Amino acid sequence: MMFHSIGFIGTGHMGGALARAAAKGEGGNPIYLANRSPEKAKKLARELDCKVADNHTVARHCDLIFLGVKPQIMERVLKDLAPILKERTDRFVLASMAAGLSASTIQAMAGGAYPVIRLMPNTPVAVGAGVIQYCGLDTTAEELEAFRTLMAPAGLVDEINEDLCDAASAVSGCGPAFCALFVEALADGGVACGLPRDKALAYTAQTLKGAAKLMLETGIHPGDMKDGVCSPGGTTIQGIRVLEEQGFRAAAMKAVIAAYEKTLSFEHKG
């Protein structure tokens, strides 16, 4: 592992989930956690056997610095850190997970052409079944490889061109919310048909997980998977008919496109 000390600034939902993955993927070097309300960092540090720090300490000492604050406050946080980063003579990498902020925007906010990894994680990284797309700006191949190894316990870690980050984010970053809506709706249907709520939710979530696992492990096309369940004249095709009548596919496509367009509007405000 080429990163000797790893730091997190902002250990909320996403920063915390990535710190969990890093604690598993890290080869024994220290991980420092800094958060505005320090109790959150302390609690996580106890759980992961990491060290608690403040933002300035992380900026001064860590050679991989995850920025886990909301995009709206990134500029303020980096402005505060810029003088500390400027004083450093050693090499370090900034890793930003902020939706809609380009790697060059992070460099501009940090006040220098420092190496930046822009990553796009989703919430299932918390259970090792997430997706992280990433791209580097002024990084070396070794740094990107070390990052990939560090993040491997989070799930699928995939390098993409930065111009695809927003599209990827609209699919896998927002996707858990879209899937949650689908699960809740299917479970509601089950409840309407008499299933207890807890069973309806458990059956639905497991079905989604199983269908995804089957697709990933066998490479079956979703159309073929659907056809495999729809017996001629049977029950499932009647459900499919209703989903098509109600514009299910169009709604799902438009949801991704709407999220993508919203991300672009953040970037243009930049």
Ligand X SMILES: NC(=O)c1ccc[n+]([C@@H]2O[C@H](COP(=O)([O-])OP(=O)(O)OC[C@H]3O[C@@H](n4cnc5c(N)ncnc54)[C@H](OP(=O)(O)O)[C@@H]3O)[C@@H](O)[C@H]2O)c1
Q: Which two tokens stand for residue 111?
A: 């006040």
Number of residues that bind ligand X (CB under 6 A): 27
Please, which residue, 119 or 187, has the CB nearer to ligand X? 119
**Residue 109 Cβ, how far from ligand X at the closest point, in Å?**
12
Tell me if 102 contacts ligand X by CB under 6 A.
Answer: no
* 71 is a contact residue toward ligand X (CB under 6 A): yes
The residue (of 94 and 200) whose beta carbon lies closer to ligand X is: 94
Nearer CB in complex with ligand X: 73/185: 73
Cβ–Cβ under 8 Å, residues 27 and 1: yes
Please, which of residues 167-186 interact with ligand X by CB under 6 A? 173
Is the CB of 118 or the CB of 200 nearer to ligand X?
118
- Residue 15 binding ligand X, by CB under 6 A: yes
Q: Encoding tokens for residue 21? A: 């993955």
User: Which residue, 12 or 30, is less far from ligand X as judged by CB?
Assistant: 12
Q: Of the candidates 46, 47, 73, 86, which one interacts with ligand X according to CB under 6 A?
A: 73
Min dist CB 56 to ligand X, Å, is 10
Q: Measured from the CB of residue 187, what is the shortest distance to ligand X in angstroms?
A: 22
Q: Which residue of 6, 19, 34, 58 would you call a contact of ligand X, by CB under 6 A?
A: 34
CB hemisphere CA count around 161 (13 angstroms): 2
- Contact call for residue 69 and ligand X (CB under 6 A): yes
Closer CB to ligand X, 101 or 200, in the complex: 101
10 binds ligand X (CB under 6 A): yes
The reply to whether 7 sits near ligand X by the rule CB under 6 A is no
According to CB under 6 A, which one of 123, 137, 179, 267 is a site residue for ligand X? 123
What are the CA-CA distances from residue 29 to residues 7, 26, 55, 62, 190 (Å)?
11, 7, 19, 11, 49
Buried b (16+ CB within 10 A) or exposed e, 147-183: bbbbbebbbbbeeeeeeebbbbbbbbbbbeebeeeeb
Residues that bind ligand X in the complex, under the rule CB under 6 A: 9-15, 34-37, 40, 55, 68-71, 73, 77, 97-99, 120-123, 173
